[in-house]
Structure 1
Amino acid sequence: MKFEATTRSVQGSSASRRLRRAGRVPAIVYGGKGEAQSIELDHNEIFHALRKEPFHTSVLDMMLDGKKQNVLLRAVQWHSYKPLVLHVDFQRVSANEALTTRIPFHFINGDESPAVKQQGATISHVLNDIEITCLPKDLPQFIEVDLGNLQANEVVHLSDVKVPAGVEFLGIGEESPVLATATVIAESPDEDPPTAADVSAAEAEKSDKPAEDDAK
């Protein structure tokens, strides 16, 4: 994905406020062999780009003053209640150096699984993303988790997922983390229906009450 940026020469909170009033967003790019550099972005362009998942998980082509730099989105600061982007951080990416980032899981075919269609289970997604390391050329936008064969009361672990080529999962302990579960929620057992003897006893009790009242 590609976006435009220009060098920002004036810094400080007052300058940032003026930028925002003009429909611009202050930002910074750092890392790689270059020094940290203050830049600015068009608010509408970056606002709509941030609404797309690939912008968060891909190596981006930043056209800075007309020259391309490969970067990763690292941080976004939003206004507390307005749909406004206040600041964005990018990190430069080198083709020959491994990068570290978080990638989302995409769960598919859950509604078609035996657990849901035949056994009345509810599927819960326990882990929605994971930290990985890889070279930029191997960076996946997401990792697909196929739940199509999931049975009721089964669990999907990270070890059940095929690792994309060139990708290493980070932060994994000795036990493979759970990604999804299929649980059948037990219903409260209904009370047993009354038997014929119960009905007869109840009717007899009702018929006895007027006699008791007359005796009083």
Structure 2
Amino acid sequence: MKVVAFKRELQGSGASRRLRNSGQTPGIIYGGTEAPVTISLDHNALYHALKKEAFHSSILDLEIDGKVQKVLLRDFQVHAFKQLVLHADFQRVTASEKLHVKVALHFVNAEISPAVKLNGGTISHVLNEIEIECLPADLPEFITVDLTNVDVGTSVHVADLTLPKGVTAITHGNDLTVATASIPAGQVAADAEAAAEEPKK
């Protein structure tokens, strides 16, 4: 994905406010061997890009003055109630340097799992993203969580995930729970009531 930015000479809150009033969003690029560079970006283009999941977990081509750099979106601030992006931070990416980044989880095959298909249970997503480490070339857009074999009373943990080649999950020593399968409390009560009403043979 490509992002076009412009070098920003003026700094400070007044300059940033004037930028936003003119439809631009202030930002910064940092990291690597070069000094940080303050930039401005087209607000509407950035606002719509932020709605795409891939924009948050892909290596981006950031163009400034005709020169393209590989970067990763590291942070952004949005106004509390206006549809306004206040600031964006990008980190330069080096091909040989491993990244630490959060990547979205995509859950598949819940409807064919024993928990749902055989037992009428529900699968709750405990995590929506996990932190990973990998080289830029190995960065996945998302990680798939296959729920095919999940049954009631069991959980899926980070250790159970099939990670793409070159990707390591960072769990800080804890095997985090990704999803759990259970039967809703209301259904348990209804089943118990139905069983109690059955005539004894």
TM, length-normalised to structure 2: 0.91
Indicate the residue corresponding to 2:180 in structure 1.
Answer: 181
Q: CA deviation at 1:54?
A: 0.3
Q: CA deviation at 1:89?
A: 0.4
Indicate the residue corresponding to 1:160 in structure 2.
Answer: 160
Counterpart Cα distance in 2 of 1:20 and 1:101: 28
Q: CA deviation at 1:128?
A: 1.8
Instruction: Give the aligned CA root-mean-square deviation in angstroms.
Output: 1.6
Q: CA deviation at 1:67?
A: 0.9
Q: CA deviation at 1:133?
A: 1.1
Counterpart Cα distance in 1 of 2:85 and 2:175: 37
1:130 aligns with 2:133: no
AA paired with 1:68?
V
Counterpart Cα distance in 2 of 1:180 and 1:124: 5
| 2:179 partner SS | strand
Counterpart Cα distance in 2 of 1:180 and 1:170: 17
For residues 108-165 of structure 1, give each alpha carbon's deviation from its aligned partner in whole angstroms, at most 9, with x where no partner exists: 1112222112211010111221111111001111110111222222211222111211
Identical amino acids, percent of aligned pairs: 51
Indicate the residue corresponding to 1:210 in structure 2.
Answer: none
Q: Which runs of 5+ in 1 are unaligned?
A: 196-216
Q: Which runs of 4+ in 1 moved over 4 A?
A: none
AA paired with 1:179?
V
Q: CA deviation at 1:178?
A: 1.5
| 1:130 partner SS | strand
Q: CA deviation at 1:166?
A: 0.8
TM, length-normalised to structure 1: 0.85
Indicate the residue corresponding to 1:214 in structure 2.
Answer: none
Counterpart Cα distance in 2 of 1:13 and 1:178: 42
Indicate the residue corresponding to 1:7 in structure 2.
Answer: 7
Tell me the number of residue pairs that the alignment of Structure 1 and Structure 2 aligns. Answer: 193
| 1:81 partner SS | coil
5 Å-filtered alignment, 1:44-123, equals: 44-123=44-123
Q: Which runs of 5+ in 2 are unaligned?
A: none
Counterpart Cα distance in 1 of 2:171 and 2:161: 16
Counterpart Cα distance in 1 of 2:122 and 2:189: 13
Q: CA deviation at 1:37?
A: 0.7
AA paired with 1:140?
P
Do the aligned residues in 1 keep the contact of 2:158 with 2:169 (CA within 8 Å)? no
Counterpart Cα distance in 2 of 1:100 and 1:89: 15
